Chains A and B, each alone.
Chain A
Amino acid sequence: KNQVEQSPQSLIILEGKNCTLQCNYTVSPFSNLRWYKQDTGRGPVSLTIMTFSENTKSNGRYTATLDADTKQSSLHITASQLSDSASYICVVHDTGKLIFGQGTTLQVKP
């Protein structure tokens, strides 16, 4: 069973709309939880890193939340742009190595 589950698997939204991506994990304990953006044909790029004690962290139009009690995280994208079209990967850091979710593929249409 995958220790990091993301939903939805894919999502299509119109430019300018907001969206929220979900990540549930069972990894315990963990050092931190990260959200990465991966453009097609490129390596992942870090958006946010949150430790156990952090509840929310923003990076421009991206806001990540973390509920360590329920082991859930979300990534909220505000006022989406065409360049937001990518895969968004939730990653939990487990003592030295990262455990990756399957990713959510977001497509922003004009």
Chain B
Amino acid sequence: GAGVSQSPSNKVTEKGKDVELRCDPISGHTALYWYRQSLGQGLEFLIYFQGNSAPDKSGLPSDRFSAERTGGSVSTLTIQRTQQEDSAVYLCASSPRTSGEQFFGPGTRLTVL
């Protein structure tokens, strides 16, 4: 079956521009996570959606970062006024339940010039 998909796979943008990253989770998965992986660094938790509950935004690094999950399915991570330090691979994962195994997408590589 289809796994988690993310788009675009690569995004190059100029400093100060806004970007939107998309995640399509596995159908039926109620939990969705966004992570950031900077070069040579471990995975950094950003935000977590579980069903209709309020999202856990505790990992978002600044108010330039926001995410939505419409209809309990597709999610969009938006970064406003991008900075060079935002350059990283942004990974999305979905899970059938809160403590269940997470299935990761291939990631979006964001480069801010």
Given contacts A97-B59, A102-B42, contact A43 B104 (CB under 8 A): yes
Collect the chain B residues with CB atoms within 8 Å of residue A103's CB: 42
Closest CB of chain B to A6's CB: distance in Å?
9
**Chain B, interface residues (CB within 8 Å), range:** 20 to 34
Q: How far is the CA of A103 from the CA of B101 in the complex (A)?
A: 18
> A residues within 8 Å of B by Cβ?
2, 31-32, 34, 41-46, 49, 89, 93, 96-103
Closest CB of chain A to B50's CB: distance in Å?
7
Asked if B18 is at the interface of the complex by the 8 Å CB criterion, the answer is: no
Collect the chain A residues with CB atoms within 8 Å of residue B35's CB: 100
Asked if B48 is at the interface of the complex by the 8 Å CB criterion, the answer is: yes
Q: Are B42 and A89 in contact (CB under 8 A)?
A: yes
Q: How far is the CA of A31 from the CA of B68 in the complex (A)?
A: 27
Chain B residue nearest in CB terms to A2: B42
Q: How far is the CA of A43 from the CA of B91 in the complex (A)?
A: 7
A–B Cβ pairs within 8 angstroms, 7 of them:
A43-B91, A43-B106, A44-B43, A97-B48, A97-B58, A100-B42, A102-B42
Question: Interface digits, B15-56 against A, CB 8 Å rule (1 contact, 0 not)?
Answer: 000000000000000000101000001111100101000001
